[in-house]
């Protein structure tokens, strides 16, 4: 009970954000109301997703506790949160040629196609806004009286910023931004404009707003004018006093998030298309087989192959993932009960990407593309799932034992290869060729793991029943050059139950198993 008093908003910290997407609409509404946020459900319709995002933001803020009384502040601002047909409007000053109409449409989010049509890759920010405007024009009858003039710069990093001379406005905007991962820059930071992608003559088509106080930075297309909010406030009167800036900030916040999500989706599609261009045949087909009608039918051998990310990228993903898990934050890692494409896991992927970019000092300095990071994270997710499945099925130990055994066999091969390398000058070509033929796992005696628990550990070696004297002698010779170290090996009287591998050279197989070829081969080894 004491805990509830401490946390009047209901959900405790133990209830992670992961459960949010599973809430029913009524539960979402209840949770919002508990925070003095009254969604107008009559008009909100099926805006569950929208309300969920609001609730999630509020909860994140509560959890972080970064802003004292922020909840109540936000709550009061959202006291009546109307979402008529899922739309709320922030309209630009029509008198200002550089401003744009921006309309948030929660029930009808920015169409991916619209954004795609606008070709975001070149001058994405402006065009994305145009795309939004395009959507706005379809619904421009519903410009609300609450509209607040603003121009927002959606930067390449999917961040956004507004500025105002009104310190309280700036502060509140910033407070809300701080718990939104898409916002990477604090309002209070001073920005220093630096050219990027300089040409040889020192000119630059792009500038970057680099923060004086922290490492964050934004790319900016110089073609996209940034209209300072104070100008707009001046044009429209002091909307802060009218208490509208809160709604505006929220709407803008949601809008920019939506645009950012769409842009990310587009970028993913582009990356995939680019990948297909470079790897035109990602679908590998095996041999053909005939169906019942005798028609030739292709059988797909493998499915879509993900690009194998760089080792460093995978390492970074794992390290960041682990450090986030251990850190004092809301990061709880993947939800292995959900698919990777679930909303929650996609957020995890996004967080990883942001954190890695942050680690390198910004998106532009990060050596890995978002797609690479995503692929690496996907691998890691799959590994963790595999591991969990094995653990749940009680096969984890069996897998480990099998791997141990496998690794010992591999090490044996490596050791014998090293031995062959050492004696390459003293052995005849014929002998070296024979040794090379059998330096593979199938030709090594198995080392049973049955007595591994002994202290000191001791392995039982079971020889291959089919190996010829020539093979035995050859392996012994290699072992003399590079002896087996470590745990003691005890030769078992039992033989391994492995059969003759396919493609085994005849000289390596005992006569009973394969003709009587070993004698002559064995002779050649004598020298």
The residues binding DNA (CB under 7 A) are 283-284, 286, 291, 293, 295, 297-298, 300-305, 308-309, 311, 314-315, 317-318, 339-341, 376, 379-380, 382-387, 389-390, 393, 395, 399-400, 402-404, 406-408, 410-411, 415, 441, 452, 457, 484-487
| Least distance from DNA to the Cβ atom of residue 172, Å | 40
Q: Which residue has the tokens 């993932």?
A: 321
| Least distance from DNA to the Cβ atom of residue 377, Å | 9
| Least distance from DNA to the Cβ atom of residue 498, Å | 11
Closest CB to DNA among residues 183, 376: 376
| Least distance from DNA to the Cβ atom of residue 398, Å | 7
Closest CB to DNA among residues 236, 380: 380
* 253/213 Cα distance (integer angstroms): 24
Closest CB to DNA among residues 64, 422: 422
| Least distance from DNA to the Cβ atom of residue 40, Å | 33
Phi, psi (rounded to 5 degrees) for 521: -65, -40
Q: Mind giving me the DSSP string for 284-348?
A: -EEEEEE-TT--EEEEE-S-PPPPPPPHHHHHHHHHHHHHHHHSSSS-----TTS-TTSHHHHHH
| Least distance from DNA to the Cβ atom of residue 411, Å | 6
Phi, psi (rounded to 5 degrees) for 258: -65, -45
Angle at 244 between CA 243 and CA 245, to 5 degrees: 100
Closest CB to DNA among residues 220, 412: 412
| Least distance from DNA to the Cβ atom of residue 18, Å | 17
490: enclosing H helix or E strand: strand 488-495
Phi, psi (rounded to 5 degrees) for 398: -60, -40
Question: How many beta carbons lie within 10 A of that of residue 415, not counting itself?
Answer: 18
Pairs from 48-53 (Cβ < 8 Å, separation ≥ 24): 49/106, 50/83, 50/86, 50/106, 50/107, 50/254, 51/25, 51/83, 52/20, 52/21, 52/23, 52/28, 53/254, 53/257
Closest CB to DNA among residues 23, 482: 482
Closest CB to DNA among residues 194, 451: 451
The C-alpha R_g of the chain, in whole angstroms, comes to 33
> How distant, in Å, are the alpha carbons of 38, 74, 150 from that of 245?
17, 11, 10
| Least distance from DNA to the Cβ atom of residue 342, Å | 8
Closest CB to DNA among residues 15, 398: 398
Closest CB to DNA among residues 158, 380: 380
């Amino acid at each position: 009970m004491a805990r509830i008093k401490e946390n009047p908003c209901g959900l405790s910290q133990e209830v992670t954000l992961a459960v949010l997407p599973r809430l029913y609409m009524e539960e979402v509404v209840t949770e919002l109301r508990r925070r003095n946020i009254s969604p107008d459900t009559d008009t909100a319709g099926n805006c569950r997703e929208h309300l969920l995002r609001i609730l999630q933001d509020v909860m994140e803020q509560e959890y972080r506790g970064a802003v004292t009384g922020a909840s109540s502040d936000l709550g009061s601002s959202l006291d009546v949160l109307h979402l008529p047909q899922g739309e709320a409007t922030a309209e630009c000053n029509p008198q200002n040629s550089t401003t744009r109409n921006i309309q948030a449409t929660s029930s009808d989010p920015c169409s991916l196609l619209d954004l795609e049509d606008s070709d975001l890759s070149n001058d994405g920010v402006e065009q994305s806004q145009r795309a939004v405007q395009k959507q706005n024009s379809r619904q421009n009858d519903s410009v609300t009286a609450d509209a607040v003039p603003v121009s927002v710069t959606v930067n390449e990093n999917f961040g956004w910023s507004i500025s105002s001379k009104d310190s309280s406005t700036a502060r509140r905007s910033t407070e809300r931004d701080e718990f939104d991962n898409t916002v990477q820059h604090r309002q209070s930071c001073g920005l220093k404009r630096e050219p990027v992608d300089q040409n040889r003559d020192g000119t630059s088509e792009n500038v970057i707003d680099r923060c004086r106080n922290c490492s964050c930075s934004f790319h900016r297309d110089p073609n996209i004018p940034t209209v300072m909010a104070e100008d707009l406030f001046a044009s429209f009167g002091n909307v802060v006093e009218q208490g509208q800036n809160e709604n505006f900030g929220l709407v803008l916040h949601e809008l920019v998030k939506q645009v950012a999500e769409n842009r990310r989706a587009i970028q993913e599609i582009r990356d995939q298309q680019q990948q297909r261009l470079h790897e035109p045949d990602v679908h590998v087909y095996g041999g053909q087989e005939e169906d019942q009608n005798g028609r030739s039918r292709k059988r797909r051998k493998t499915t879509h192959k993900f690009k194998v990310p760089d080792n460093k990228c995978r390492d970074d993903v794992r390290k960041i993932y682990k450090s986030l898990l251990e850190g004092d934050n809301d990061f709880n890692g993947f939800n292995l009960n959900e698919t990777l494409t679930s909303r929650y896991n996609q957020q995890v992927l996004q967080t990883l990407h942001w954190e890695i970019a942050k680690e390198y000092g910004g998106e532009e300095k990060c050596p890995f593309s978002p797609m690479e990071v995503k692929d690496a994270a996907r691998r890691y997710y799959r590994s963790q799932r595999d591991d969990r499945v094995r653990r749940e099925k009680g096969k984890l130990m069996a897998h480990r034992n099998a791997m141990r055994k496998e690794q010992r066999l591999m090490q044996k091969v490596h050791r014998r290869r090293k031995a062959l390398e050492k004696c390459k000058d003293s052995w005849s070509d014929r002998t070296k060729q024979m040794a090379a033929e059998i330096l593979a796992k199938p030709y090594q005696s198995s080392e049973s793991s049955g007595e591994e628990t002994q202290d000191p550990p001791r392995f039982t070696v079971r020889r291959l029943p089919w190996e010829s004297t020539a093979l035995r002698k050859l392996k012994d010779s290699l072992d003399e050059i590079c002896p087996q170290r470590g745990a003691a090996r005890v030769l078992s009287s039992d033989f391994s139950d492995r059969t003759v591998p396919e493609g085994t050279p005849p000289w390596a197989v005992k006569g009973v198993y394969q003709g009587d070829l070993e004698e002559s081969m064995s002779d050649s080894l004598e020298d």
